[in-house]
Amino acid sequence: MALEMCGYEINLVIQKQLTDTDLNKNHGRLSMNTKQLSFDFATEEESKLLSEQENKNKMGINVMLLDDVLEERMLCLKKWKIGSGEVYCLMTKWNLMVEERGLKSGEEIQVWSFRKDDEDEAHRLCLALVKLATC
């Protein structure tokens, strides 16, 4: 699917089971612990942006997320320190995606990263979410 969009640098970021916290409307985020990543997708420049704060709030970057039915959505990616580790969080419109795609706790997903050039930005970070089939 990323290739069809002229995507490149395609890498599996994480395969995980969705948790109640990932689907909780009050949390409104998909968490990806950096210690569990197969591939850390952020460039040095993106990591720097994600580390910046404004009024005690972490800065985020907009990423295009391609879902399992090839619908494109813009979500905000943030990076938080939790305990001794760091966690990437996909936010803004995450709850809407959970609702529209009928994501359930316990389902296995994969998140892939890829880069795409467009009019606005070269090498734009994009993510793809794949819901794995259950037996």
CB 124 within 8 A of CB 8: no
- Strands 8-17 and 30-33, by their bridges, are unpaired
pLDDT value of position 122: 61
pLDDT value of position 11: 96
pLDDT tens, position by position, for the chain (135 residues)? 455 567 789 999 999 999 999 999 999 999 999 999 999 999 999 988 888 876 667 789 999 999 888 889 999 999 988 888 899 999 989 999 999 999 999 999 999 999 988 766 667 899 999 999 775
**Other CB atoms within 10 Å distance of the CB of residue 96:** 12
**Other CB atoms within 10 Å distance of the CB of residue 102:** 8
Ordered by where they begin, the domains of the chain are 3-131 (2.40.330.10)
